[in-house]
Amino acid sequence: MLGTLNTRVMLEYLPELLQGLQATLLLSVSGFAGAMLIGIIACALTIQPLRWPRAIVIAYVDIIRATPLLAQLYFLYFGLPRIGILIPEFHIGIIALALNSGAYVAEIIRSGILSIQRGQVEAGISTGLSYLQRMRHIVLPQALRPTVSPLIGQAIVLVKDSSLLSLISVVELTRAGQRIANERFMPFEGLVATATAYLAIYFLLKFLAELWSRHNSLPDRA
Amino acid sequence: MIEFSGVNKWFGALHVLCDIDLAVTRGEVVVVCGPSGSGKSTLIRCVNGLEPYQKGRLMVDGIHVGQEPRRMRELRMEVGFVFQSFNLYPHKTALENVTLAPIHVRGMSRVAAAERGRALLERVGLGDRMGSYPHQLSGGQQQRVAIARALCMQPKVMLFDEPTSALDPEMVKEVLDVIISLAGEGMTMMVVTHEMGFARSVADRVVFMDQGSIIETATPESFFTNPQSERGRDFLGKVLQH
């Protein structure tokens, strides 16, 4: 099957594919940066004592987790113009990815924070440390460490999810591959080319995750 | 220094502290004992506001606990607390555990805090373990770091919540010795413990609790030789048997 692969056409479309790769990387990096920002804020709002902000965040996380990303994407794509917000598809894509992953990031960070034993917080309280001081010196330095691997996992998911943006005519990797299918009637060549690029991104992130965990799983930190 | 007047606390329907009246004066060492679930830990956790209470009045160093939320940090600076499970910060060295609050709460310089921290760790016999992380220390060593951590804030009162219950028997003494030396210096202390020998030698007064109430308060001598209450006799019969 692969023996009949038309590599000449794939090479011919290399500039388009690289452009698509560049767009996918830009979407992923901005989307994930947004997701981290949203996730940290959302998480902060769920662990503070006020009830209303907490309820809003819980509703947000539930909605995102209950509905498909494609539905969320169309919701923004068709919904934003109806309330008078006209922004390019590319930006809608970043917003959708950030909102979607943000909910998962919030949950990941929250699980890290909840893993800190209550006793350490009580020790902080007993010595007079304020809420913010306890967060800064006791909770966060420990809570964030175990979240790095799941966060890289979420980043890998986000990269693949960005392929859905081809459906709202954002020209990224998947869309670039589809051009080979549409213009040359060679869907298989397009798929192989895009899959190879996704694989490369995946291995890069996996390498980072392994590097991090190797560096941080030393038995003795002293 | 510490004054409970008619303090009551409920966990839902469970009445965990019933009409507690107790006054601890400056320099006094009060040992709280009683069967598990009698409310001993809850009692001392109320003193620095780790547990709220619902009725009555609790004054500590002139601060009405629970009624003056803005002064709670001020109160906690003056009240050291030592937990059964040590609760050291695992990502910080022994010295960092001890100096964290003095630097950020008292506003001490790092140099001054480290100097005081080193002196305290020396004092609890850990001069050679300043740079060790909690997981590299034995239980007894961890608890001594925890005591140094509380002392580094230079509190007026120290509270101990079963400080030796999580320790292997051979480590109990090294921790009790530190507490005994503090008592010798006139520190005001409330100690929840099952170590009856220790209670007898160090306490000015013994408070015996059962089912959320103070059943009797006495000098250690009279409590251990001649308990006034039926439940006190029963309890001593069980703990002193072996």
Which pLDDT score, from 0 to 100, does residue A221 have? 45
Burial label for B41, CB within 10 Å (0-12, 13-18, 19+), is buried
The helix/strand/coil state of A162 is helix
Give CB contacts under 8 A, 24+ apart, made by A29-33: A30/A94, A30/A98, A31/A93, A31/A94, A31/A97, A31/A98, A31/A101, A31/A158, A31/A162, A32/A97, A32/A98, A32/A101, A32/A154, A32/A155, A32/A158, A33/A98
Answer whether residue A155 shows pLDDT above 80. Answer: yes
ipTM of the complex: 0.91
User: For residue B154, what is the nearest residue in chain A, using CA coordinates?
Assistant: A127
User: For residue B102, what is the nearest residue in chain A, using CA coordinates?
Assistant: A127
Residues A208, A210, A212, A215, CA torsion sign: negative
Give, for all 242 residues of chain B, the pLDDT tens digit: 999 999 999 999 999 999 999 999 999 999 999 998 899 999 999 999 999 999 999 999 999 998 888 899 999 999 999 999 999 999 999 999 999 999 999 999 999 999 999 999 999 999 999 999 999 999 999 999 999 999 999 999 999 999 999 999 899 999 999 999 999 999 999 999 989 999 998 999 999 999 999 999 999 999 999 999 999 999 998 887 65
Which pLDDT score, from 0 to 100, does residue A217 have? 62
Answer whether residue A219 shows pLDDT above 50. Answer: no
In the structure, what pLDDT confidence band is assigned to residue A222 with cuts at 50, 70 and 90? very low
Nearest Cβ partner for A128 among B76, B132, B133: B76
User: For residue B130, what is the nearest residue in chain A, using CA coordinates?
Assistant: A222
CB contact under 8 A, B90 and A141: no
CB contact under 8 A, A128 and B93: no
Which pLDDT score, from 0 to 100, does residue A186 have? 85
Which pLDDT score, from 0 to 100, does residue B214 have? 95
Domains in chain A, please, with CATH? 2-216 (1.10.3720.10)
In the structure, what pLDDT confidence band is assigned to residue A1 with cuts at 50, 70 and 90? low
Mean per-residue pLDDT for A171-186?
89
Which pLDDT score, from 0 to 100, does residue A2 have? 62
**DSSP H or E stretch at residue B4:** strand B2-11
Strand partners, B161: B192
B91: which chain A residues are within 8 Å (Cβ-Cβ)? 141-142, 221
In the structure, what pLDDT confidence band is assigned to residue A100 with cuts at 50, 70 and 90? very high
Tokens of A33: 């940066």
A117: which chain B residues are within 8 Å (Cβ-Cβ)? 87
**Using N-to-C axis directions, what is the helix angle for B139-151 and B110-123, rounded to 10°?**
130
Which pLDDT score, from 0 to 100, does residue B240 have? 76
CB contact under 8 A, A138 and B89: yes
A183 part of contact set with chain B, CB < 8 Å: no
User: For residue B152, what is the nearest residue in chain A, using CA coordinates?
Assistant: A127
Interface test with A, best of B89, B108, B161 (most A CBs within 10 A): B89
Answer whether residue A129 shows pLDDT above 50. Answer: yes
Edge-to-edge strands of the sheet including B55-60?
A: B14-24, B2-11, B55-60, B63-64
Helix%, strand%, coil% for chain B, nearest 5: 40, 25, 35
Which pLDDT score, from 0 to 100, does residue B241 have? 66
pLDDT in tens, B84-128: 999 999 999 999 999 999 999 999 999 999 999 999 999 999 999
Mean per-residue pLDDT for A78-93?
92
B176 part of contact set with chain A, CB < 8 Å: no
**Tokens 């506003």 correspond to what residue?**
B107
Residues 62-81 of A with CB under 8 A from B: none
Which pLDDT score, from 0 to 100, does residue A7 have? 84
